[in-house]
Chain A
């Protein structure tokens, strides 16, 4: 039990609570129950909670499966810095959000579920967990230009190995010889076109 990251479960629970809040709110508003304005609040709170909880945080150990299309919300959630990183803030935020929905029967289930999620987030915060965004690793582009520094030093046609050894002795002796043209042919090459 020691390695459990409670925040992951709290995240699932909060997401589910958000959906329940939205559903309860829609029912209450559409049917114009008594005090249906709480239903409107519940829809708004539910949407907010869903958007906040949609990007899954990164696990401390092991790989994390991203939710479909979460990278856009990850950017937004990251913007708020410590407000979204810290789980104490999330715990109390969810607790606060859940209270008004408790006044209407249609949304009271959302209240209960969100309050439970808030409790689990509190547990996660006490154990020092944090929300870290899942970011794609920057792709390493091989820089084509920089790996080629000089043209090849011994391009074909190349003489066999013995001639090359002799040539290197000659070259070290005649270090001052000026290369004629872009390539120095180790074996005299004749143009055979007649």
Chain B
């Protein structure tokens, strides 16, 4: 049950919205939904193993009791009510002596469903290993839909009533504490202890899984189906260098916040696949846009389809928007935004939104200063973002608020050619690669210096650090957040937020 709730994204967005008065640490837990999903999955695997081992012992004991000829209480209990003509008061599911454990397993509902759903579970887990998921997403996505079989099997698992207990009336007639010693005399016409009668326990797993399953199916089928039927209009298509495609779209009734993402489906490429993309436009614009980089089968096919410039363009369906941490950016006085490569996309949305808020003179902005770090391997990827930074630069100058946005661009894939070129043009006012006033740095940022500089410049503020990038960078940044946060809660505190898909 707990495994379904973290993937009900609409529910999470709803909770995030209604909990806006809660402290942000509570809401941050909602961002770790996939981690929670994986933890619950590991627990399910562990408990499945324990459950199976327990039933193996259980069946073995039943089988042995059935075959026992020593007249012990186990063998007496096993031989009760074995003819099917009488009612179902038996205890031992092994009705005859030649029934093997395998036979009982595969001919009872519980056994059969158990085997099937365990195989489904194993397949789901092996295809969800990080390596497979990152390299061959479709294998993971389609295999993971075996969860439907899993839940149906889980609901049906207890229907056969193999786990049995004594009936209430039988408990009154023959209380086990009184009668267990005298088991050899039950069949004599002795009034005090009759043969105990057993009945199967009713299945209970459906009570746990029904509500979350309905919720999830509602989200997937109804909400996504309804949203996918809504018409999405493509206003503009831009092909950027480095194989980055920008799509500007509109949809009736669509409203977004900064840093949210949408799921996109292109039926002409694949009928079943929905892929997530961060929105790169600001809420103040009258369209919404996404930037897509070629990173696998589906994205390459999509870019190729739009490159050919056939009109009409392929139809696009959109589900969303779903929220992530970037919405919190404006709650911090000082914000450090770090984006690695294509991970800069949520911050593109934030910076654009800032531009609009500035133009409209929005007083609700708590943010006083923003430090933006973009770390990239090659220059081509800068191009689509250049215009935005250039216009922001100009805007800041015009409004006289030069200190508001400080950005540093880091080029990690440099060679001596580029470095030599940069050294020659050292004296120029604008950077040769990007044309911006801020010079491009080569290599990786020295975080300790950056953190101490910010801590010194803002000694009493809460600084929010936002990262969209690889795990190693996340570890390094979160370590430095802890190191540079002062022990005194009134002084500078760094709060680390990470988002990744």
Binding site for B on A (CB under 8 A): 1-5, 8-9, 12-13, 15-17, 20, 23, 27-28, 31, 33-34, 56, 59, 62, 65, 103, 105-106, 108-109, 112-113, 116
Contact = CB atoms under 8 A, between A and B. Distances in A.
Contact of B59 (A12, A62, A105): A105
Contact of B56 (A3, A5, A103, A106): A106
A33 B60 contact: yes
Contact of B122 (A2, A20, A65): A20
Across the A-B interface, give the 4 residue pairs with the lowest CB-CB distance, nearest first.
Answer: A12-B126, A105-B101, A13-B126, A4-B136
Nearest to A106: B56
Interface string B43-78: 000000100110011011001000000000000000
What is the predominant secondary structure among interface residues of chain A facing chain B? Answer: helix
B25 interface: no
B340 to A, nearest CB: 17
A27 B56 contact: yes
B105 A113 contact: no
Contact of B49 (A23, A28, A56): A23
B132 interface: yes
B115 interface: yes
B135 A105 contact: no
B448 interface: no
A27 B49 CA distance: 11
A116 B125 contact: no
B118 interface: yes
Contacts, number: 72
B127 A16 contact: no
Contacts of A31: 56-57, 60
16 contacts: A1-B138, A3-B136, A4-B136, A5-B135, A8-B131, A9-B127, A12-B126, A13-B126, A15-B126, A23-B53, A27-B56, A33-B56, A62-B135, A105-B101, A108-B102, A112-B115
Interface in B109-168: 115, 118-119, 122-123, 125-127, 129, 131-132, 135-136, 138-139
A59 B59 CA distance: 44
Contacts of B63: 34
Interface centre among B126, B127, B131 (most CB of A within 10 A): B126
B297 interface: yes
Nearest to B104: A105
What is the predominant secondary structure among interface residues of chain B facing chain A? Answer: helix
Contacts of A13: 122-123, 126
Contacts of B132: 8-9, 12
Contact of A9 (B59, B60, B118, B126): B126
A109 B118 contact: yes
Contacts of B53: 23, 27
Contacts of B59: 105
Given A5-B136, A34-B101, 5 more contacts: A33-B60, A65-B131, A109-B52, A109-B119, A113-B119
Interface string B94-111: 000000011001000000
A16 to B, nearest CB: 5
A2 to B, nearest CB: 7
A51 B347 CA distance: 46
A13 B121 CA distance: 12
B49 A9 contact: no
Contacts of B105: 105, 108
Contacts of A108: 102, 105, 115
Given A23-B49, A109-B52, A1 B297 contact: yes
Given A16-B126, A34-B60, A105-B105, A2 B297 contact: yes
Contacts of A15: 126
A5 B134 CA distance: 13
A102 to B, nearest CB: 9
A65 B125 CA distance: 18
Nearest to A36: B60
Interface centre among A13, A15, A56 (most CB of B within 10 A): A13
B128 to A, nearest CB: 9
Nearest to B45: A16
B115 A9 contact: no
Contacts of B56: 27-28, 31, 33, 105-106
Contacts of B52: 109
Nearest to B118: A109
A33 B138 CA distance: 41
Interface centre among A1, A5, A108 (most CB of B within 10 A): A1
Contacts of B139: 4, 9
A31 B56 CA distance: 10
Contact of A3 (B122, B123, B297): B297
Contacts of A8: 131-132, 135-136
A16 B296 CA distance: 27
B138 A4 contact: yes
Interface in B147-192: none
B194 to A, nearest CB: 33
Interface centre among A9, A34, A103, A105 (most CB of B within 10 A): A105
Contacts of B115: 108-109, 112
B179 to A, nearest CB: 30
Nearest to B142: A1
Contacts of B57: 31
Contacts of A4: 136, 138-139
